[in-house]
Structure 1
Amino acid sequence: MSIKEIGCCGAYCKTCKPFNSGNCKGCKLGYDTGERDLSKARCKMKVCCIGKGYDSCADCPGIETCSVINEFYGKNGYKYGKYRQATEFIKEKGYEEFLKIADNWTNAYGKYR
């Protein structure tokens, strides 16, 4: 388990088949090695988060007022609220506690104890 398995938005990527098979084009893979060019990324959240050196948006002190992340979390769909819940959990309890819980999930989000 590692922080690299958590998306900028709070999604837990370790449960994703493309991520596990090495075919992921998600938000983190390849940018740390230079395999992918961050300046060519279309996702504003990814560009901001990785560009500022954060492990996820949970690290950003301005997350509460960030229009990019709040627009994402405001989309219709259950998962967006769960991703918000993940970043809030990480801010409060840290990555280590999040990974302990998330490692038992079967989706990119799950229940908290």
Structure 2
Amino acid sequence: MKSITADRNNIASCGLYCGACRKFLSEKCPGCKNNEKASWCKIRQCCISKGYRTCAECERDVRECKIYSNFISKVFALLFNSDRPACI
């Protein structure tokens, strides 16, 4: 398994750090940025369409964004025990 290293390229569109994920470190997942199978992620789609690396580049507050603060994203935040808006 890889060790955790700081790398901006491993930051997902939503602000989570893929470089600390167990699946990423064990090379079972390419991370959100390079994962074409992650086309279901509306946050990722939004960032790609606007040319942003992450939501942090957007002028909108993520807490008010309906794409970022939706039911699925709140479930992910609960599952990963993360304060996702704080990541942005």
Tell me, yes or no, whether TM beats 0.5.
yes
* Structure 1: gaps (5+ residues): 31-35, 88-113
1:86 aligns with 2:87: yes
Between the aligned residues of both structures, percent identity stands at 33
Which of 1, 10, 33 is equivalent to 1:5? 10
> Greater relative contact order: 1 or 2 (C-alpha under 8 angstroms, separation 6 or more)?
1
| 1:1-113 equivalence runs, <5 A | 1-30=6-35, 36=36, 41-64=39-62, 65-71=64-70, 75=74, 77=78, 79-80=81-82, 82-87=83-88
How many angstroms apart in 2 are the aligned matches of 1:37 and 1:20?
Answer: 18
Distance 1:85 1:20 in 2: 23
**Counterpart Cα distance in 2 of 1:69 and 1:23:** 25
The RMSD of aligned alpha carbons is 2.8
Alpha-carbon distance in 2 for matches of 1:49, 1:74: 15
TM-score w.r.t. the length of structure 2 is 0.67
Cα distance in 1 for partners of 2:7, 2:70 equals: 27
In the TM superposition, what is the alpha-carbon distance from 1:43 to its structure 2 partner?
A: 1.2
Name which one, 1 or 2, has greater alpha-carbon Rg: 1
Render the CA deviation track for 1:13-55: whole Å, top value 9, x for unaligned: 111122223331542115xxxxx388xx111111011222211
- How many residue pairs match? The answer is 79
Deviations 1:52-87 (A, max 9, x none): 22111111112343211022587252735x111111
Q: Measure the CA separation in 1 of the matches of 2:11 and 2:27.
A: 15
Matched letter for residue 24 of structure 1: C
Structure with greater helix share of residues: 1
Q: Structure 2, unaligned stretches of length 5 or more?
A: 1-5
Contact 1:8 1:57 in 2 (8 A): yes
